[in-house]
Amino acid sequence: AQSVTQLDSQVPVFEEAPVELRCNYSSSVSVYLFWYVQYPNQGLQLLLKYLSGSTLVESINGFEAEFNKSQTSFHLRKPSVHISDTAEYFCALETSGSRLTFGEGTQLTVNP
Amino acid sequence: DTGVSQNPRHKITKRGQNVTFRCDPISEHNRLYWYRQTLGQGPEFLTYFQNEAQLEKSRLLSDRFSAERPKGSFSTLEIQRTEQGDSAMYLCASSSRTGETEAFFGQGTRLTVV
C-alpha cells in the first residue's frame, strides 16, 4: 500500500520569509510525485511534478521540490513567499493504475 | 474547452434523497477520476474510468454510490439515500495518459446533507 504523510498541518510565515512544506511517502514500487495547491472553494491546481530525471523540480512561481529517494521525501520550498501564496498545499503520489494518493494537506498562511 | 467542468457547484439535500453530479472532462482526455474531500483532509480516490470502462473502485464507494461514463465522454456520480456522512466536496479530474501528463481537476461539487 502507498501512503503520503505531510508533517505539518499548518505553517504560518511572514511575507518574504522562506518556507518549507514537508512531505514523506511510502511505496514499495516506483512513484511519481506531485504538489497541488488549493485555494478556498476551488479545485486543485498542479504546482509541480517529479516523474523522472533531475531530482530538483521547479514551478513557474518560484516553488521548488526535491525528490529524495533514500529519505522517501519530496519537500516543497520557496525562498521568499508572498501573501498570494496563502493556500492549502497537497503532496500526492501516483503508482500503477494512475490514481493519486494524497496527503492530508498543509495550510500555508502568509502574514504581512 | 477551458478545463474540467462540474455541475452543480453546490448541492444541499435532505437525508435520504438521491443526488447526481455531472463532470465534463477535457475533451481529448480518456481518463476520468472521482475523488471525495472532507473538511481538513486530502482528496480520497473513489473511482476512475478509461474511456467508458470503469477500471477501479475504492472500498469507499459503497453500494449507494454509482458512477457512469457513457460513451467515454461526461461522467455522472449518483448517491442514493444520502446520509450526513456523505457531506463533502466531490472532485472530478481528467488526464490523457498515466504519468505523462498531470490530472486536471474541476472546481468540485460541494454536497451538504441536512
Going from the C-alpha of A84 to that of each of B5, B51, B94, the distances in angstroms are 25, 37, 27
- At position A22, the amino acid (one-letter code) is R
pLDDT tens digits, A32-45: 899 999 998 788 99
A92 lies within 8 A of chain B by CB: yes
pLDDT confidence band for B60 (50 / 70 / 90): confident
Question: What is d(CA B79, CA B88) in angstroms, rounded to the nearest whole number?
Answer: 12
> What cell does A66 get?
526535491
Mutation target for B interface from A4, A44, A45, A88: give the one with most B CBs within 10 A: A44
A34 lies within 8 A of chain B by CB: yes
Please give the mean pLDDT across all residues of chain A. 92
pLDDT confidence band for A96 (50 / 70 / 90): low
Q: Which residues of A touch B105 (CB under 8 A)?
A: 36, 43-45
pLDDT for res A40? 84
CA distance, residue B37 to nearest chain A CA (Å)? 10
Q: Test B98 with A41 for CB contact under 8 angstroms.
A: no
pLDDT tens digits, A47-76: 999 888 888 888 888 999 999 999 999 999
A32 lies within 8 A of chain B by CB: yes
pLDDT tens digits, A14-35: 999 999 999 999 988 888 899 9
**Residue B101 in this model has a pLDDT that exceeds 80:** no
**Residue B51 in this model has a pLDDT that exceeds 60:** yes
Q: Test A102 with B43 for CB contact under 8 angstroms.
A: yes
* Cross-chain CB nearest to B98 (options A46, A90, A98): A98
pLDDT for res A63? 96
pLDDT confidence band for B4 (50 / 70 / 90): very high
**Residue A98 in this model has a pLDDT that exceeds 80:** no
**Residue B71 in this model has a pLDDT that exceeds 90:** no
pLDDT confidence band for B98 (50 / 70 / 90): low
pLDDT confidence band for B100 (50 / 70 / 90): low
* Cross-chain CB nearest to A99 (options B6, B45, B106): B45
pLDDT for res B99? 52
B29 lies within 8 A of chain A by CB: no
The full length of chain B comes to 114
Q: Which residues of B touch A101 (CB under 8 A)?
A: 45
A101 lies within 8 A of chain B by CB: yes
Question: What is d(CA B6, CA B109) in angstroms, rounded to the nearest whole number?
Answer: 7
Question: What is d(CA A74, CA A58) in angstroms, rounded to the nearest whole number?
Answer: 12
**Residue B89 in this model has a pLDDT that exceeds 90:** yes
Q: Test A51 with B99 for CB contact under 8 angstroms.
A: yes
pLDDT for res A109? 97
Secondary structure class of B113 (helix, strand, coil): strand
